[in-house]
Chains A and B, each alone.
Chain A
Amino acid sequence: MNIRLNRDLVSGGVFVAAGAAFAVTASGYDIGSASEMGTGYFPLCIGILLAVLGVFVIAQALRSDIGAESVNLRLRAVLLILASLLAFYVLLPILGLPLSTFITFVIAAKADPETPLTQIVAAGAGLAIIAYLLFVVALGLPIQAFPALLS
């Protein structure tokens, strides 16, 4: 998906928002004084600094003649990779390592639309077996190996 955006302008906005969020949260903590700093003192300073820097970046972006550029957001890859990570998060405690590995692999691999499904399934199954042998059998990681229902 292609969108048009002014990178510097948006980066500046991100800095302002993040700096402000950290600073505002920090102001709720114990600030203390310069000689005896509380929990919030340093993050408050850095947060303000970041927000100010962000304003500076925005100002620079507005003055510069580089406007909006076309940017390709790799939506398919973003969504599928995130989905594969979340799948691992949800499935590992339920299905155990080899099955979660397989499912995560398959979802992630679909980020490339041209890979044939048979290839994905074969490679995913191979990786699931390797993961089981390496992490559970050889390294003995305390990680659930099989579906919760079975064990």
Chain B
Amino acid sequence: MDIFANLSLGFQTAISLEGMFYALIGTLLGTAIGVLPGLGPVATIAMLLPLTYGLQPELALIMLAGIFYGSQYGGSTTSILVNIPGESASVVTCLDGHQMAKQGQAGTALATAAIGSFFAGTVSTFLIAGFAPVLATVAFQFGPAEYFSLMVLGLIGAIALAHGSMIKALGMILLGLLLGLVGTDVTSGGQRYTFGLSELFDGIDFVAVSMGLFGITEVITNAGASTDRNVLTSKLHGLFPDRQQLGRMAPAILRGTALGSFLGLLPGGGATLSSFTAYAVEKKISRTPGAFGKGAIEGVAAPEAANNAASQTSFIPMLTLGIPGNAVMALMIGAMMMHNITPGPEVATTNPRLFWGLIVSMWFGNLVLLVLNLPLIRIWIKLLSAPYRLLFPAIVVVACIGVYSVNNSTFGILLLAAFGLAGYLLAVLGCEPAPLLLGFVLGPWMEEYFRRAMLIADGDFTVFVTEPLSAVLLALAVIILAIFTMPAVLRKRDAAFVEKEE
């Protein structure tokens, strides 16, 4: 496997005029929407997804990936300057980043976040280039039974590492699987749960589900809630860290990158978990743990590097196995399906331009973030001062137009309303929407692999445990489930999340 030949193919795609243009637009749009308070990457991607319909698949993905890390960086900006995390992954950035801003070092904090993210992005780009093809060759050995078991493991892993009640998350996954089955059954051609509505024959529209669950739900939860914000904009001079600060942040960035790259590979890992973990590690090994929470530069550098590394390495299982580790990856899979590309080990061979172009564009997007964001910071500040009371009705309108444009039909707006309401009520009950989205995306595939495995095994259910690889994957899933439902671990896990949320 010649990694450099592949990377150069990627460079040709990504560094083409078009590739660079869409990576740039994606990153800028992502940042612009990501800095708006209360709009995380999932809502941002779902909202901007319709803009990419008309593009070639590789350009669409390049743009979406740009939107993704742009929105993540935008979230960090909001955390540092307003102390309101735009998304869960930047919660920890608030702790020390905002303290630095209060001490007049907002510029340095922003630069630290940008440098940390860029370094992590560069390293993880090479990791993806090196690892993804290897994983893809392994995945070629998988039969339907192995794939089914792998999906079970992926889903269980995702809920074990995400927060909230595990058993309710399991319920949300099952609900998602069922909703994913609505529409025409590919194998038999029969209709399921469509009740004669022709709009449902192709299944429930993915954009309506994700926009409803993440966009509208969010709006209902926050509309009219008092929002006191004071943006720290006065002291933005001195962007670049001095030598002493560089000395403190460099090792933190290295550790954050290593940790994030690894955690991003795990199902349920991704940005949030890794930024929390990186912060905890920094605090633990620091000689001056007391400085954390009071503007320690390590407390900004490590989590920012970690969350960027993780959000990129989480592309590896998504691209090679078709397994989404988190809600953002579920959205990326949805976007690929819209362009008739099925994520899986074949993508790297059948669609090398897309595969390698996407990887190289990630690095390019990170460069754009580093080069453009610091000069543009004043524009981002203008945006993040936008009052939420006028922002949320605009989100509602944009969601409507986006959902309409998927099929040029108003039916999607009804779905949007239904999923917005359902998402809100479920959130009131303490049920998280992310597992539902994962199940929704995987539903049809799990059925397909289950069906094929049973067909080959002639209806013998033991095939999942007699095939060695499949047995190992299922055993892992059971072990994870057992560990995380043990009362002692459960308490620790709760405690960990509580501490993080403070």
Contacts and interface: CB of A to CB of B under 8 A. Distances in A.
Nearest to A22: B178
9 contacts: A25-B193, A38-B188, A47-B178, A73-B428, A86-B413, A86-B417, A112-B223, A127-B397, A143-B404
A10 interface: yes
A11 interface: yes
Given A85-B396, A85-B413, A92-B410, A39 B185 contact: yes
Interface string B143-180: 00000000000000000000001011011001101100
Q: Tell me whether chain A's interface is mostly helix, strand or loop, or mixed.
A: helix
B452 to A, nearest CB: 10
Interface stretch (B59-67, B69-77, B386-394, B474-482): B386-394
A46 B177 contact: yes
Interface in A63-122: 71, 73-74, 76-78, 80-82, 84-86, 88-89, 92-93, 97, 101, 104-106, 108-109, 111-115, 119-120
Interface stretch (B31-39, B214-222, B249-257, B268-276): B214-222
A74 B223 contact: yes
Contact of A53 (B174, B187, B390, B394): B174
A142 B304 CA distance: 41
Contacts of A81: 216, 219-220, 223, 396, 420
Contacts of A125: none
Interface stretch (B9-17, B230-238, B258-266, B454-462): B454-462
B447 interface: yes
A92 B460 CA distance: 53
Contacts of B405: 135, 141, 143
B178 A11 contact: no
Interface string B422-439: 001010111100000000
B397 A43 contact: no
A145 interface: no
The 5 A-B pairs at the shortest CB distance, nearest first, are namely A35-B459, A34-B459, A108-B393, A39-B190, A112-B224
Contact of A60 (B167, B190, B424): B167
Most A C-beta atoms less than 10 A away, residue of B396, B408, B421: B396
Interface of A: 7-8, 10-11, 14-15, 18-19, 22, 25-26, 29-30, 33-43, 46-47, 49-50, 53-54, 56-57, 60, 71, 73-74, 76-78, 80-82, 84-86, 88-89, 92-93, 97, 101, 104-106, 108-109, 111-115, 119-120, 123-124, 127, 131, 135, 139, 141-143
Most A C-beta atoms less than 10 A away, residue of B51, B430, B446: B430
Q: Tell me whether chain B's interface is mostly helix, strand or loop, or mixed.
A: helix
B400 interface: yes
A119 B174 contact: no
Given A34-B459, A43-B178, A101 B397 contact: yes
A47 B181 CA distance: 11
Nearest to A60: B167
A142 B410 CA distance: 12
B192 interface: yes
Interface in B188-242: 188, 190-193, 216, 219-221, 223-224
Contact of B455 (A14, A36, A50, A57): A36
B175 A85 contact: no
Contacts of A34: 454, 459-461
Given A11-B431, A92-B404, A104-B396, A74 B221 contact: yes
Given A78-B424, A89-B410, A93-B410, A11 B221 contact: no
A143 B408 contact: yes
Contacts of B193: 22, 25, 43
Given A22-B178, A77-B223, A85-B417, A108 B168 contact: no
A131 B401 contact: yes
Given A77-B224, A114-B389, A50 B174 contact: yes
B455 A54 contact: no
Contacts of A26: 192
A35 B397 CA distance: 48
B339 interface: no
A80 B220 CA distance: 9
B416 interface: yes
A118 to B, nearest CB: 12
B131 interface: no
A119 B430 CA distance: 35
Given A78-B424, A89-B414, A30 B223 contact: no
A135 B454 contact: no
Contacts of A77: 219-221, 223-224
Interface string B369-407: 000000000000000000001101110110011001100
A92 B221 CA distance: 26
B493 interface: no
A88 B400 contact: yes
Contacts of A112: 223-224, 389, 392
Contacts of B191: 39
B497 interface: no
A11 B389 contact: no
Contacts of A74: 220-221, 223-224, 424
B439 to A, nearest CB: 9
A73 B425 CA distance: 9
